[in-house]
């Protein structure tokens, strides 16, 4: 079956960019992205494409090319589902904050609601594609709901997990390492897999399109994120050891990264990993393992999270110790709030937790990030519910100029590896700070020797 109409439920960080690229590469397919959030859809439809709600290098150009031609954003969820031959589900699956599995299991509320809506609206057969990151065997839940609550339409369930890195999402979509598609191994299931393969084959070489059973596909996404996060926690654990010896974690990382069996990626010491996927997916993996009674497996993967949390607390503690064991009333500038460069996504950003720890010690923070809106910073802190919103606003100020953020500060903490930070006039920053002036490079991106030549006292991860 050749697909001509696609609907995607969810206009967030995955759904929006993925559908924009599919529309760009497949002008013969009508792609409609739907969401109940009217403000979000309005932002995707803004005549100024630089104001779309997801910042990714190159994304606004992709949207500008396809929007209005064969890419549409709408709040008419029912209408888009009814017209589509293939429906992608790309809604949030956060970690549960209540009930059984609280703090570890994925909350599938929105997935179930999507399935029920698809079943209610559909009058023709459809292929339903899991794009959200889901626990293994979620497809069976979807199939059960779609098969027993619909109006007689037939459904095939596919798993097509995303492997996007925020900051490079457009390039990842245009030139993916692989596209993974899992489905039933029945005749109908293989036909559905073939339909989705045909969509991606418009620009992805066939040898990079992998097909599996649906369970393998679901588990592969969790496993991929777990392995990447494991590498980050591994190098971060060694960064602490380096600080107690005469080793340099950057040199250690370079030395082991040249081993072809290991490779250099995800071996850069930092304050810790963030983003919407790594922590959520590992906790989900831990929960699944415990559900099957695999305690040793669960304990192994949980340690990745424990080390990540430890690294964030350790970084904040190092700032306090270096500033003579008190930051009460001291101004500390934060450069970066997003969890990584080239994105405005702040979910689980290390900066949030480092800030929270310092605010508990009554530090006064001044935050600058090139892409994160002011209100998002306060929303992130308020979500932790450690202090009242008024207290957060009294102790933390968000500014739109990095030099203003650093003026009269006791210390600067680099929390995101934005490239622009390297090019700042650090002599000017030093001249306008209180002395001694400290730099805490939590991302190891600045030239330590040059900073120390200016007069800064520099503390970097692993040094």
By annotation, the residues acting in catalysis are: 162, 221, 277
Q: Which of 461, 107, 172, 146 is nearest to 315 (CA)?
A: 461
Residue 203 to residue 235: CA distance in whole angstroms:
36
Residue 424 to residue 31: CA distance in whole angstroms:
42
| Residues near 177 by beta carbon (within 8 Å), at least 6 away in sequence | 163, 208
> How many residues are recorded in the chain?
463
How far CA 258 is from CA of 261, 262, 265, 266, in Å, comes to: 9, 7, 10, 13
Q: Report, in angstroms and rounded to the nearest whole number, the Rg of the chain calculated over CA atoms.
A: 24
Question: What number of H helices and E strands is found in the chain?
Answer: 18, 14
Pairing of strands 5-9, 86-89: parallel
Q: Which of 422, 424, 430 is nearest to 455 (CA)?
A: 430
Helix, strand, coil distribution of the chain in percent, nearest 5: 45, 15, 40
Torsion angle (degrees, nearest 10) of CA 371, 375, 378, 383: -100
């Amino acid at each position: 079956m050749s697909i001509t109409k696609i609907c995607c439920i969810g206009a967030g960080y995955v759904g929006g960019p993925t559908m924009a690229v599919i529309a760009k590469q497949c002008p013969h397919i009508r792609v409609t992205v739907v969401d109940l959030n009217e403000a979000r859809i309005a932002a995707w439809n803004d005549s100024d494409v630089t104001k779309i709600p997801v910042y990714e290098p190159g994304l606004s150009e992709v949207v500008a090319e396809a929007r209005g031609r064969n890419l549409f954003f709408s709040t008419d969820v029912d209408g888009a589902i009814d017209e589509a031959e293939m429906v992608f589900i790309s809604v949030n699956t956060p970690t549960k904050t209540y009930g059984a599995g609280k703090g570890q299991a994925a909350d599938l509320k929105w997935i179930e609601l999507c399935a029920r809506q698809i079943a209610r609206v559909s009058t023709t057969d459809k292929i339903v594609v899991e794009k959200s990151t889901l626990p293994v065997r979620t497809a069976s839940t979807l199939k059960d709901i779609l098969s027993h609550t619909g109006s007689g339409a037939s459904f095939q369930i596919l798993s097509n997990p995303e492997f996007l890195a925020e900051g490079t999402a457009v390039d990842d979509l245009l030139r993916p390492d692989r596209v993974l598609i899992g489905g039933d191994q029945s005749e109908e299931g293989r036909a559905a897999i073939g339909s989705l393969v045909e969509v991606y084959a418009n620009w992805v070489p066939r040898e990079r399109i992998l097909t599996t059973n649906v369970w393998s596909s679901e588990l592969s996404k969790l496993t991929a994120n777990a392995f990447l996060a494991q590498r980050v926690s591994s190098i971060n654990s060694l960064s602490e050891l380096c600080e107690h010896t005469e080793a340099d974690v950057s040199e250690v990382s370079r030395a082991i990264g040249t081993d072809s069996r290991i490779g250099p990626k995800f071996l850069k010491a930092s304050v810790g990993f963030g983003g919407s996927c790594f922590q959520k997916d590992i906790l989900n993996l831990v929960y699944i393992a415990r559900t099957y009674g695999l305690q040793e497996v669960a304990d192994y993967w949980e340690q990745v999270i424990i080390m990540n949390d430890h690294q964030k607390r350790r970084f904040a503690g190092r700032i306090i110790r270096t500033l003579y064991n008190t930051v009460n009333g001291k101004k500390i500038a934060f450069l970066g709030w997003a969890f990584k460069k080239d994105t405005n996504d702040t979910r689980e950003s290390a900066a949030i937790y480092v800030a929270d720890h310092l605010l508990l010690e009554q530090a006064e923070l001044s935050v600058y990030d090139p892409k994160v809106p002011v209100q998002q910073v306060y929303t992130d802190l308020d979500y932790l519910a450690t202090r009242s919103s008024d207290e957060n606003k009294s102790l933390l100020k968000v500014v739109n100029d990095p030099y203003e953020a650093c003026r009269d500060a006791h210390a600067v903490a680099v929390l995101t590896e934005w490239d622009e930070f390297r090019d700042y006039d650090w002599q000017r920053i030093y001249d306008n700070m209180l002395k001694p002036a400290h730099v805490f490079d939590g991302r190891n991106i600045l030239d330590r020797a040059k900073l120390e030549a200016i007069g800064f006292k520099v503390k970097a991860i692993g040094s």
